[in-house]
Amino acid sequence: MRDTSQHLLFNLQQFWAEGSLEKNNALVEYLKQYGVVRTDKVAEVMETIDRALFVPEGFTPYTDSPMPIGYNATISAPHMHATCLELLKDYLQPGMHALDVGSGSGYLTACFAMMVGPEGRAVGIEHIPELVVASTENVERSAAAALMKDGSLSFHVSDGRLGWPDAAPYDAIHVGAAAPEIPRPLLEQLKPGGRMVIPVGTYSQDLQVIDKSADGSTSVRNDASVRYVPLTSRSAQLQDS
């Protein structure tokens, strides 16, 4: 009896650990019902980029929680990805420029690339070289592969607190790790009329939405209380691994 239930549990875990677009679509459907996916645009991109390609083997890609990707980093939970895509969707129109700081698994950078398309630019900055290698391999297997091949999607090993001036100014900037304060270079690289979404704080953090108006002035509002890994130096991040 015990053996059978353990066997069943193992099979269930196996089932949810395997990638399939059907299960990915079921996750997006769940996020719609939960109210975090609110627009067709966001649903469409999350359906196109299969999350299983970005979650390490052995972990369940379609459950709504963050998963470890090594080096004290995590792929964010699906509801956080959806929240950020909803907040940024108007700034991810075809031809626009997007910066993803702390790109980790590469999932969100791939979504950005699909939205801005081949005429746009999606740049992922990550300070752990091994994660840049992994994210590149993940994207190669995904629907965004052609965009990386043609150069409209790129990953770079660098300190994201400095931004990436080469493709600035950006219509959309997303920061996937919590900063004690908003790094100045990121504010400077945000286009007038653009939007940045960034978790700010140390222990308690707020997801802040920063809008830069045409005259260059900025407004800030808190969208939600969140819990992200810190935006820090590589040595500090790897210290307690």
Catalytic residues: 76
In the beta sheet, which residues pair with residue 212? 218
Q: How far is the CB of 203 from ligand SAH (least distance, A)?
A: 17
Residues 127-166, mask of contacts with ligand SAH (x by CB under 6 A): xx--x---------------------------xxx-----
**Selected binder of ligand SAH within 105, 138, 142, 189 (CB under 6 A):** 105
Site string for ligand SAH, 175-214 (x = CB under 6 A): -xx-------------------------------------
Q: Give least dist CB 137 to ligand SAH, A.
A: 14
Query: Toward ligand SAH, which CB reaches closer, 153 or 231?
Result: 231
Structure tokens at 51: 């999350």
The reply on whether position 108 binds ligand SAH by CB under 6 A is yes
State in angstroms the smallest separation of the CB of 57 from ligand SAH: 16
Go through 32-42 and write b for each residue having 16 or more CB atoms within 10 A of its CB, e for each that does not. Answer: beeebbeeebb
* Cα 136 from Cα 234, distance rounded (Å): 19
Q: Are 57 and 138 in contact (CB under 8 A)?
A: no
Closer residue to ligand SAH, CB minimum distance, 168 or 216:
168
Q: In Å, what is the CA distance from 226 to each residue of 94, 200, 215, 232, 238?
A: 29, 9, 30, 17, 22
* In contact, 83 and 208? CB cutoff 8 Å: no
Instruction: List beta partners, residue 74.
Output: 68
β 190-201/205-212 pair status: antiparallel
Shortest distance in whole angstroms from residue 82 CB to ligand SAH? 12
**How many residues touch ligand SAH (CB under 6 A)?**
25
Q: Which of 61, 102, 120, 163 binds ligand SAH (CB under 6 A)?
A: 102
**Coil, helix or strand for 68?**
strand
How many angstroms separate the CA atoms of 37 and 28, rounded?
Answer: 7
Which residue, 43 or 229, has its beta carbon nearer to ligand SAH?
Answer: 229
Q: For the segment 57-76, give every residue that binds ligand SAH (CB under 6 A).
A: 71, 73-76
Do 183 and 210 touch, CB atoms closer than 8 A?
Answer: no
Q: Which residues bind ligand SAH (CB under 6 A)?
A: 71, 73-76, 102-105, 107-108, 125-128, 131, 159-161, 176-177, 229, 231-232, 237
